[in-house]
Amino acid sequence: MNALKTYLLSGAVSLAAIGSAQAVEIEYWQYFFDARVTAMEQLIENFEAANPDITVNMTHFPYADYRTKVAAAIPAGEGPDVVQLFYGWLNDYVEAELIQPLPADTFDPARIDAEFFPMVQAMKDGDQYWALPTAVRSLALFYNERLFEEAGIESPPETLDELVEIAGQLTKRDGAGNITQVGITTGMNAQDHHWFREVLVRQMGGDPYENNYQTVNYNTDAGQAAAAFYTGLEAEHGVTAAGFMDEPQAAFKAGMAGMHIDGSFRIGALDKVRGLRWGVTELPANAEGMRSNYSSYWVNAITTKAEDERYDASVKFMEYVTSDEAMQIWLDVVGELPAKPSVGMTDANANHEVYGPFIRGLAYANTTIFANESAQRQVLMDMVQRVSIEDLPLTEALATAAEEEQVILDEYYAD
Amino acid sequence: MTATDIRPSSDTLLTTKAPVKRSYGQYIRWLLLFLGGIAMVMPIAWMISTSLKWPHEVYNLKLIPDEPTIENYTYVLEDGRFYGWFMNSIIIAVITTVSNILFDSLVGYTLCKFKFPGRYIIFIAILSTLMIPTEMLVIPWYIMSQNFGWLDTYWGIMFPGLMTAFGTFLMKQFFETVPDDFLEAARIDGLNELQIWWSVAMPLVKPALAALAIFVFLGNWTAFIWPLIVTNSPEMYTVPVGLSGFGDEADVAWELIMTGAAISTIPTLIVFIVFQRFIIRGVVMAGLKG
Amino acid sequence: MRLRQNLTIRQKHILWAWGLLALPVIFYVVIRFYPTGNAILLSFQNWNLLGDRTWAGAENYIKLWHDDVFWKVFRNTFVYLLLGTPISLVISFLIAFHLDRVRFMHGFIRMLYFLPFMTSAVAMAWVWRWFYQPVPVGIFNNILASFGIPQINFLNSTTNALPAVLAPAVWAGLGFQVIIFMAGLRAIPQSYYEAARIDGVSGFTILTQITIPLLKPTIIFITVFSSIGFLRIFDHVFNMTTNNPGGPLNSTKPLVLMIYDTAFNGFNMGYAAAQTVVLFTVLLCVSLLQLYLLRDR
């Protein structure tokens, strides 16, 4: 019996040995984003040069439908070996046993805990990591330098009060009182829902969620103050208009908005707009100087489809795409921030004119754990519109939003 | 073709109309239709205008660009993959259109001109397939395609659309305008049912067939969600799936989307121009009491 | 051979019918009815697309019954139907009727009406959204302003948004309905008109006594088909309200958008399937009712 076992085992080992000597092909999927595709091509090239027996085939799909595509393909066993997923989707993939944990010998959890930005720990379950990001992203305040000069404004706002004041100076109206240039763009549909949750509520002294993001906690004085500040930008100070120029980033691109809160992924798009001179600064602090930020990230994970030599190759590939070298390449090509402070917080990166504000923001960023991001975003969009369109008192609208979001969370965590 | 004769073309008919009446009303009618038509295409004018703009001018919503450019067209057309997508779309749209013209009219004809038990049930059952949104069928189709090995193939992209309830219903309604006497006469002449359908009934519903062809071609030309799900390799993409790459997470390049939209309207326009001739000519079947 | 000869004409007829229908019936059963049955089954289950399906009983339907958004969406869907179908029917008939009588640049004018139907819905929705903007950007409001009419909040309003979203849908579909009507008009034998003209019947009588009755199969088709289209409206709403799908405050959300959102944002496939079954039932009832009311008496 023992002899047989040994025989079989040795057979398996020699088979594995043959396998690793042969060429292995693995599939990698991500969504389409010009710079990300370019960066990944570069990473794959470097990786293949170091591992001549492994070939990585990358396929990318349109961003808007990427989630559906992945969700259709992976359970059917048609997906890739290594896949890029949004951090918020990971739970579902772990529960459905569609991805495999990263081996602890190569991806030592203690080391990852120590080396990566703390929010990455959301990818850990027990004592193993399920997925890791190459890069993370955060928010910052973009501003139009030409409009600032025109209005004689020296420097971008440091605090929320300054934000309101400067936005006032940047707002323009025509003779009939119609707004023709907004001081700051607003739109819960864009990045503002993150700004509200993780930044404004915290700056007003609150904590947007409790119980590991399973309990809504912004129907409080702090939440009230945050919502009042946010809706006040339009209702009270008149420095913005919701839906102005169709969407916030369009208004900023068109040079018809003084300031605009957005994520680091917008940098490339703004760079392409000829004639737009813009700067970027950290999100404004509150009166006490307290800052906050929202961070999110895409991770890479190994699917259960990867077996044997393809699994080994996938582990190697994962190791490379989460290496310091890969992170720096990703920053240089995509403009997304390295997931390790040791790479991100170098003097050169942290003081970088464009990346600096985002990277510094990471130090005090929080990551919302969403059950259904689009539904939770919708709740806040509805809150603002209940006030602006239906004239509901803000307290009531806020309470409704908190209730609605709690229902979404309860339903998700009930299973 | 028995029992038919040439109907006067609508042109001669109109000229034989009382000329006095024609002058005023006819001019006003023409003018109103023309102005309405111009109003209809205004949004399209903006689409073309945007496709001729540089990115920085896109949000300046003038109809006439300050610095018009064909850069966007060269960008889209220079992307080598575009021709592949274009050919894929053409192949799929053409095959599907032919299939629909044959099968939809065959089924429509059978349901209209044959009296047999169960025909109403079949008609309603086929019609009911219009009542499920495609989005809900995509996942079962995907699993089906996977089992049969159809993923990432032309057949996989086109199989769901080879017959449509829409076309069946359309053809059934138009076969109702074909008098039964015609078919009976052909039967007496010794044609079998398939021959009657093909050589007697089909020519009489050419306008509807033309409308069907335009509709099916267009529907397949613009189909997005299913081709996206069923294809994996960029070589198999259709034009809409390929063009959707011009919008990404951070930046929707509207000038490129407008360019792609303008380019991909051209084949449908050609199909329309080719097939609308059949609608103009009308059908040759006068001299019979219906 | 003998068997065939012994068949009555009627039996041969039936045999032919089923022979011609055999292949299409197989196609519909496999490609359409099977997935539909699957959706019905799924409506009694919970499934997030990734994991296993679990039985849920009537849970999804009970949830639907108590879902305020669903009832709002249900109402919206019928508003789309009740506004969209008659408006597009009347306008397209008027255009087709008059276009049929125009010869100068006939093909060109017809193409103008048909062009919107051929153009990408995504691209067009973007243009329409700009048209609807407040002054100084939006064309519509600029036109209103030049007549001294106060500006209208088209999209950012719970009352105006639905008609504002419906307009491009009607606009885009018009050309196709015109074509179908034209095809129908051309299918009416000219001999009827000649006879009427010889009898000296007025134009209005010709319209009501000859054209419309003979156009009935076409009218039935367009009514039923456009009703199904408006009850299934999705693309136009989704593209028009892309920054806030179905908004503001769900005032433009149709059932299919809710289904899409539940399935591919919430990944609650069972709940989406339950909504689909409701949509299916509604569509079937409306279509059958229309076919019954418009049947030949």
Tell me the backbone φ, ψ of residue A241, rounded to 5 degrees.
Answer: -145, 125
Task: Give the list of residues 6+ apart from residue A94 with CB closer than 8 angstroms, or none.
Answer: A125, A130
Same domain, A86 and A38: yes
Contact check, Cβ <8 Å, A33/B249: yes
Residue B177: predicted pLDDT: 84
Contact check, Cβ <8 Å, B228/A62: yes
> In this predicted structure, which of A137-146, A253-262, B61-70, C109-118 has the lowest mean pLDDT?
B61-70
Same domain, A114 and A193: no
Same domain, A125 and A271: no
Residue B250: predicted pLDDT: 65
CB-based contact, A75 to chain B, within 8 Å: no
Residues of B in contact with C110 (CB under 8 A): 276
Residues of B in contact with C238 (CB under 8 A): none
Tell me the backbone φ, ψ of residue A305, rounded to 5 degrees.
Answer: -70, -30
* pLDDT tens digits along B31-69: 999 999 999 999 999 999 999 998 888 887 788 898 899
Name the residue range of residue A79's domain.
22-136+296-366
Classify the C-alpha dihedral A280-A283-A284-A289 as positive or negative: negative
Q: d(Cα A325, Cα A135) in Å, to the nearest integer?
A: 12
Same domain, A255 and A393: yes
Q: d(Cα C77, Cα A335) in Å, to the nearest integer?
A: 44
Residue B288: predicted pLDDT: 39
Same domain, A184 and A326: no
Residues of A in contact with C134 (CB under 8 A): 178, 241
Residue A183: predicted pLDDT: 96
Q: What is the pTM of this model?
A: 0.90
Q: d(Cα B60, Cα B50) in Å, to the nearest integer?
A: 9
Helices (H), A322-354: 324-334, 341-344, 347-350
CB-based contact, B258 to chain C, within 8 Å: yes
* pLDDT tens digits along B154-191: 999 999 999 999 999 999 998 988 888 888 899 888 88
Domain count for chain A, please give it.
2
CB-based contact, C208 to chain A, within 8 Å: no
Choice between A77 and A309, residue whose per-residue pLDDT is larger: A309
Q: d(Cα B106, Cα B209) in Å, to the nearest integer?
A: 12
Same domain, A362 and A374: no
* pLDDT higher than 90, residue C1: no
Q: Which of A331, A346, A366 is the last residue of a domain?
A: A366
* % of chain B surpassing 70 pLDDT: 87
* pLDDT higher than 50, residue A18: no
Beta strands at A337-338 and C45-46: parallel, antiparallel or unpaired: unpaired
Same domain, A389 and A259: yes
**Terminal Cα-to-Cα distance of chain C (whole angstroms):** 41
Is A73 inside any structural domain? yes
Residue B32: predicted pLDDT: 94
User: CB–CB of C275/C263 below 8 Å?
Assistant: no
CB-based contact, C149 to chain B, within 8 Å: no
Nearest to B165 by CA among B136, B129, B141: B129
Is A277 inside any structural domain? yes
CB-based contact, B134 to chain A, within 8 Å: no
User: CB–CB of A65/A289 below 8 Å?
Assistant: no
Same domain, A270 and A387: yes
Neighbours of A407 (CB within 10 A): 12
* pLDDT tens digits along C237-246: 999 998 889 9
* pLDDT tens digits along A213-245: 999 999 999 999 999 999 999 999 999 998 888
CATH number of the CATH domain containing A166: 3.40.190.10
Residues of A in contact with B59 (CB under 8 A): 245, 250-251, 253-254, 256
Contacts 24+ apart (CB under 8 A), A401-409: A401/A218, A401/A219, A402/A216, A402/A218, A402/A219, A402/A223, A403/A219, A404/A379, A405/A216, A405/A376, A405/A379, A406/A215, A406/A216, A408/A371, A408/A372, A408/A375, A408/A376, A408/A379, A409/A213, A409/A214, A409/A215, A409/A216, A409/A371
* pLDDT higher than 70, residue B14: no
Return the structure tokens found at C148.
């001294």
For residue B204, give the chain C residue with the closest CA. C187
CB-based contact, B285 to chain C, within 8 Å: yes
> In this predicted structure, which of A280-289, B134-143, C79-88, C109-118 has the lowest mean pLDDT?
B134-143
* Single-letter amino acid, residue B277: R
Peptide bond into A62 cis (omega under 30): no
- Rounded to the nearest integer, the mean pLDDT of chain C is 90
Residues of C in contact with B127 (CB under 8 A): 224, 287
Contact check, Cβ <8 Å, B26/C28: no
Residue B202: predicted pLDDT: 92
CB-based contact, B138 to chain A, within 8 Å: yes
SS3 A29: strand
User: CB–CB of C186/B174 below 8 Å?
Assistant: no
CB burial class (10 A; 0-12, 13-18, 19+) of residue B235?
exposed
Same domain, A356 and A214: no
* pLDDT tens digits along C157-166: 999 999 999 9
A-B interface: how many C-beta pairs under 8 angstroms?
Answer: 68
CB-based contact, C49 to chain A, within 8 Å: yes
Q: d(Cα C93, Cα A3) in Å, to the nearest integer?
A: 87
CB-based contact, B234 to chain A, within 8 Å: yes
Residues of B in contact with C124 (CB under 8 A): 43-44, 47, 261
Contact check, Cβ <8 Å, B268/C114: no
Same domain, A316 and A339: yes
Q: d(Cα A178, Cα C200) in Å, to the nearest integer?
A: 60
Residues of B in contact with C114 (CB under 8 A): 272, 276
Residue B22: predicted pLDDT: 58
**Class at the top of the CATH hierarchy for domain B79-281:** mainly alpha
Q: d(Cα A66, Cα A30) in Å, to the nearest integer?
A: 8
Q: d(Cα C114, Cα B273) in Å, to the nearest integer?
A: 11
Instruction: Give the nearest partner residue to A246 out of C129, C135, C151, using CB atoms.
Output: C129
* pLDDT higher than 60, residue A4: no
Same domain, A407 and A319: no
**Per-domain residue ranges for chain B?**
79-281
Axis crossing angle, helix A221-235 with helix A373-388, rounded to the nearest 10: 60
* pLDDT higher than 50, residue A20: no
Q: d(Cα C39, Cα C276) in Å, to the nearest integer?
A: 8
Q: Which domains does chain C show, CATH number per domain?
A: 67-293 (1.10.3720.10)
Mutate to test the interface with B, among A29, A63, A270, A373 (most CBs of B within 10 A): A63
* pLDDT tens digits along A351-368: 999 999 999 999 899 999
> In this predicted structure, which of A268-272, A295-299, B45-49 has the lowest mean pLDDT?
A268-272
Strand ranges (DSSP E) for A237-288? 257-263, 278-281
Axis crossing angle, helix B81-113 with helix B206-222, rounded to the nearest 10: 140
Interface predicted TM-score (ipTM) of this complex, two decimals: 0.86
Residue B55: predicted pLDDT: 82
Neighbours of C199 (CB within 10 A): 9
